[in-house]
Structure 1
Amino acid sequence: MATFGQIIFCSMITLIVLFSAIIILILALALSGSTSEVISTNTWPIGNLGEDQLLSCYVNTDSQAKLTKVSVTWEKKDLSGLVYKYQNAAPVLGDQNSQFKGRTQLFPDALVTGNASLLLRAVRSTDAGVYTCAISSSTAGGKVNINLRTAAFSAPTFNVLDGNLVATASRWFPKPHVTWLKYGNKVLNGITNFTEDTAGMFSVVSKLQPVNISDTYTCRIENNLVTAVSEATVTGVSGVSENTYFTYSAASSLLASTYLSIMTTVLCIYYLT
């Protein structure tokens, strides 16, 4: 049976954690930079190094009327100059930072519907950071922050060689971890080798033995940002049927705080009983 002091102690701890979660929520909303009707479909995108990335930004309105006098400014935190600017129906790039020259693009035909998404070409590691998209028009406006993270990832290819099921992925960064599974959750012993090139990219070669024809194996290649999940079915002595999908990290301090609050409450209940 819990004492009165124990009840007071657990109640205070729970309240502190709950208040912390509320404060983090308020800060998250403030730091997101979202005002008025401007939003993004993905405020934590992950750009694949060397490939193009679309940073979404648009006016969230139910109105079907086209916007007029649209002005858009894209900026990056702690960067001198602009990422991109559009005003008076034309790009205004005199103050554009040299890092983005020739690598950014809006879609003028989409601006009248409130879509000011930015296409960033050939993503670089230096592109990572917080971007602010600001839209103004005759009827609506505001801004939103997008936190771009960068990584390198590629889907593996599979083949059977000397009785081994071999997964080969050409480019990963940060360095990933490889796990082989069977029937969804049974961990298998594989042998994985990494090769790092002069740019810091890792190529992955992972082997699994023995394998059986008609059996399906799962290969997970993952780092803290991206996970590639591949289902590989051995169809013959050298044949493999494969399918890969990617998942992306979207963890936030708010989710962590909420989890901590729940766990604290559970532990207190356990402690009091």
Structure 2
Amino acid sequence: FSHNLPFFSLSFNLVVIALEETTIVSKPGDNATLSCIYRGRELHLKNLRVYWQIADDQEECSVVHALISGQDNESEQCIHFKNRTQLFWDRLENGDFSLLLLNVSQSDEHRYKCVVLQKTEYTKVIHQTEVVLSLAASYSQPILSGPINSDSTGEEMTFSCRSGNGYPKPNVYWVNKTDDSHLPPSELKITPHTDGTYSVFSTLKVKATSNMQIECSIENKILRENLSANYTQQNQSDGSSTERHKNLERNGRGAQAAGIVSIVILLGLLAVLTCCLWRRRSSKLVSYTGNE
């Protein structure tokens, strides 16, 4: 029974068999479950043939996994999928022919086809589905670094933006938020990692202006995510600094005055206490002299 037969049978029964299609997104290095569920009458595994195949026409080898008469058949399985595919044996008789694909990578991004054939008087397709596997991973919140000195209007400023652990390669945008114009990066470096993810580092050189507002944005198209970090420079920074300095001076003077008042009060209390003790001692001396 050639592994190409499911495609022949599929075209023969295309009029009566509806083709289901789903899309799943998995992170590189994770395990992905390709769903294929038949909700029909009771099944007998010995009468079934289940084929998981790559539906992309350009692939030389298309067999991902095969189940024939209740047994795995690896005779024509693509070497790329050896020891990386599993069916859920406790679910097969209930019509669940989903496939677990282990440790997915970029080379696994395909359109997969599940074809279930039943042999009674003749072999016919009773179920088929297609699953599109895409890989994606969210990037970390970008970190935007810029100059600390705020009094640099007209000077060239350098900003840097970094993010990591994402997939696929991102789009990086520098935006002048004062007018929402895009700025060309001075440098853009995307580095691949062993787990299949990427990190990105970009710099921007631009002349400083008053009220400068710069944004670095990292876009992941597959996940439709857009993470951003912002830098804002205010004109009032010098004035605010001066005002804070004045407030500190006022607070310092107030604390000094409060300290002096506290010392005066303490000295007064000591004087009163000394006076009381002296009077008490004097009265005792007078009483003693009178007794003599």
Whether the 8 Å CA contact 1:36–1:142 is kept in 2: the answer is yes
For the 8 Å contact 1:130–1:148, the answer to whether it is kept is yes
Q: State how 1:1-273 maps to structure 2 within 5 Å.
A: 36=17, 39-42=20-23, 45-59=24-38, 61=39, 66-69=42-45, 70-76=48-54, 77=57, 78-80=59-61, 82-137=63-118, 141-149=126-134, 151-157=135-141, 168-173=163-168, 175-179=169-173, 193-197=188-192, 202-205=198-201, 219-223=217-221, 225-230=222-227
CA 1:130/1:188 → structure 2, altered by over 3 Å: closer, same or farther? closer
Shift of 1:115: 1.9
Find the residue that maps to 1:109 and give its secondary structure.
helix
Give how far 1:101 is off.
0.2
- The gaps in structure 1 that reach 5 residues or longer are 1-29, 209-216, 234-273
Rounded to whole Å, the distance in 2 between the matches of 1:159 and 1:221 is 14
Shift of 1:105: 1.3
Residue 103 of structure 1, CA deviation = 0.9
Cα distance in 1, alignment partners of residues 89 and 140 from structure 2: 37
Say if 1:37 and 1:141, in contact at 8 Å, map to a contact too.
no
| Alpha-carbon separation, structure 2, partners of 1:46 and 1:153 | 9
TM-superposed CA distance for 1:114, in Å, is 1.9
Structure 1 residues 198 and 178 mapped into 2: Cα distance closer, same or farther (>3 Å)? closer
Contact 2:144 2:229 in 1 (8 A): no
| TM-score after normalising by structure 1 | 0.50
Mapped to 2, the partners of 1:220 and 1:160 lie a distance apart of 11
Q: Give the Cα–Cα distance (whole angstroms) in 1 for the partners of residues 130 and 108 of structure 2.
A: 14
Q: Displacement of 1:134 after TM fit?
A: 0.5
With over 3 angstroms needed to count, the CA separation of the structure-2 counterparts of 1:100 and 1:37, relative to structure 1, is: same
Counterparts in 2 of 1:81 and 1:179: CA distance versus 1, 3 Å: closer
Three-state SS of the structure 2 residue aligned to 1:58 is coil
Tell me the distance in 1 between the aligned counterparts of 2:129 and 2:228. Answer: 38
**Contact persistence 1:72–1:134 (CA under 8 A):** yes
CA spacing shift, 1:79–1:145, aligned 2, 3 Å: farther
Q: Secondary structure at the match of 1:50?
A: coil
Task: Give the conservation status (yes or no) of the 8 Å contact 2:22–2:130.
Answer: no
C-alpha displacement at 1:229, in angstroms? 3.6
- In structure 1, what is the Cα distance between the partners aligned to 2:228 and 2:89? 41
What is the percent sequence identity of the aligned residues?
Answer: 23
Give the superposition deviation at 1:204.
1.9
Q: Find the structure with the greater CA-based Rg.
A: 2
Q: 1:257: which partner in 2?
A: none
Structure 1 residues 47 and 40: CA distance shift in structure 2, 3 A: same
Question: Can you give the 5+ residue segments of structure 2 that lack an aligned partner in the other structure?
Answer: 1-10, 149-158, 205-214, 231-292
Paired residues, number: 189
TM-score w.r.t. structure 2 length? 0.48
2:130 maps to a residue whose letter is: N
Query: Distance in 1 between the 2:18 and 2:44 partners?
Result: 16
Match of 1:212 in 2: none
CA distance in 2, matches of 1:221, 1:47: 18
Q: How has the CA–CA distance of structure 1 residues 114 and 85 changed in structure 2, closer, same or farther, with 3 Å as cutoff?
A: same
User: Residues of 2 paired with 1:167 and 1:205: CA distance?
Assistant: 5
